[in-house]
Amino acid sequence: MKTKEIIAEGNKYVMNTYGRLPLALVKGKGARVWDAEGKEYLDFVSGLAVNSLGHCHPRVVKAIWRQADTLMHVSNLYYIEPQVRLARLLVENCCADRVFFCNSGAEANEGAIKLARKYAKLHHGPDKFEIITAKRSFHGRTLATITATGQSKFQKGFEPLPGGFKYVPFNDLEALQQAAGPNTCAVMLEPIQGEGGIYPATREYLQGVARLCREKNLLLIFDEVQCGLGRTGNFLAYQLYGVEPDIITLAKALGGGFPIGALLAKEHAAAAFQPGDHASTFGGSPLACTAALAAVQVLLEEGVIENARVMGEYLKDKLNQLAQRHRQIKEVRGAGLMLGVEVEDKGPDIVNRCRERGLLINCVNNNVLRFLPPLIIKEKEIDAAIEILDKALGG
Ligand SMILES: *Cc1c(COP(=O)(O)O)cnc(C)c1O
């Protein structure tokens, strides 16, 4: 099918939930993708932080290929070797002790919400159920996770929303201190807010939040669905901040392009889940876990995280240089290869002009250009992207 036909049929048969661009990608390799007409693009969207190893990484492709031919799915009624191996690898590389596998970020956060409530019920009685989240946060599209999301635009039209959530301004410790009451059981935050516009937490804030949680017996949940798994130049983003959460959620990059999510927890929290409390038919399948095992091994063994750190600095410097020449750039912020460029307005126009010139980026809130290149990106590819962006920003 050609692009025109794919678009026409897509508009007819697929539910109209995405503001899609007139582009149909049919092939990818490394940091590049191709559309149905064979036009090449540099991909600085990476499937929204999914394709961190670039498209079709050979180790991930081979692992999927082999496992698909061996065993794709069995029930969690049985032990699953790739699931056990992946859980162990994750636990050995972070502060958590146990893992539950699911299929997406929203599901991982649903699991985190359930685990926090269950823990609080067990240890502190029936009145502790409230979860505090941040304004501008994003935690997913299920009913509970749009409610956890501190942005009303994701909630409108879906009321009544589940109860038990409260919102505070991000990076404001005093507001959190005041909000945490007798019903509060947990605080859930993205160390770097993604969909909200790339806003990193400050070190003082997260350290203060962790202290407050200890004092008030609250579980600390970090949603690292977007910022985790090497994106910031650390394996997980919490490692940038010198604090340890009780619960961590992952998805996006975990499967190297294959769908998988994970809920990780320290032993005391994880122990609140008993057989029957939580489940997912597809969660932790042999195929998904084999893909993720290969992806996380590549991430840890092939210098990918170091590259994200070095190239993140390089890209940030280049964007700051552009900011000196283009007055419409108001701020460059973020960490590693999770960077946002706040412009005065008309972000979508800049995104379109970049696309026409062969660079894919996206835009959040109309005024923040988001850069999420694969973590295997090279200096030359960043130079090419910057040249395109420079032209797209105009004179
Ligand atoms: C993308 C995202 C989610 C939702 O993940 P899905 O896999 O789309 O359900 C949750 N939290 C954060 C921080 C995200 O960026």
Q: Got the DSSP string for 272-334?
A: T--TTS---SSTT-HHHHHHHHHHHHHHHHSSHHHHHHHHHHHHHHHHHHHHHH-TTEEEEEE
- Cβ–Cβ under 8 Å, residues 206 and 191: yes
Catalytic residue check, 235: no
Catalytic residue check, 380: no
- Does ligand 1 come within 6 angstroms of the Cβ of 190? yes
Catalytic residue check, 62: no
- Sorting pLDDT into bands at 50, 70 and 90, what band is 395? low
Which residue ranges form the domains of the chain, and what is each CATH number?
A: 3-56+303-393 (3.90.1150.10), 59-301 (3.40.640.10)
Which ligand 1 atom is at minimum distance from the Cα of 194?
Answer: 15
- Does ligand 1 come within 6 angstroms of the Cβ of 140? yes
What pLDDT is stored for residue 359 in this prediction? 98
SS3 at position 189: strand
Ligand 1 geometric centre to CA of 107 (Å): 9
- Does ligand 1 come within 6 angstroms of the Cβ of 223? yes
What's the whole-number mean pLDDT along residues 111-115? 98
> What is the tens place of the pLDDT at every residue in 306-322?
999 999 999 999 999 99
* Mean pLDDT, rounded, of the chain: 97
Ligand 1 geometric centre to CA of 30 (Å): 23
- Does ligand 1 come within 6 angstroms of the Cβ of 43? no
What's the whole-number mean pLDDT along residues 83-97? 98
> What is the tens place of the pLDDT at every residue in 337-384?
999 999 998 999 999 999 999 999 999 999 999 999 999 999 999 999
What's the whole-number mean pLDDT along residues 272-282? 98
- Cβ–Cβ under 8 Å, residues 274 and 266: no
- pTM for this structure? 0.98
Ligand 1 geometric centre to CA of 47 (Å): 12
What's the whole-number mean pLDDT along residues 148-157? 98
What pLDDT is stored for residue 394 in this prediction? 87
Q: Quick one: which of 175, 168, 361, 148 has its CA closest to 249? A: 148
> What is the tens place of the pLDDT at every residue in 5-37?
999 999 999 999 999 999 999 999 999 999 999
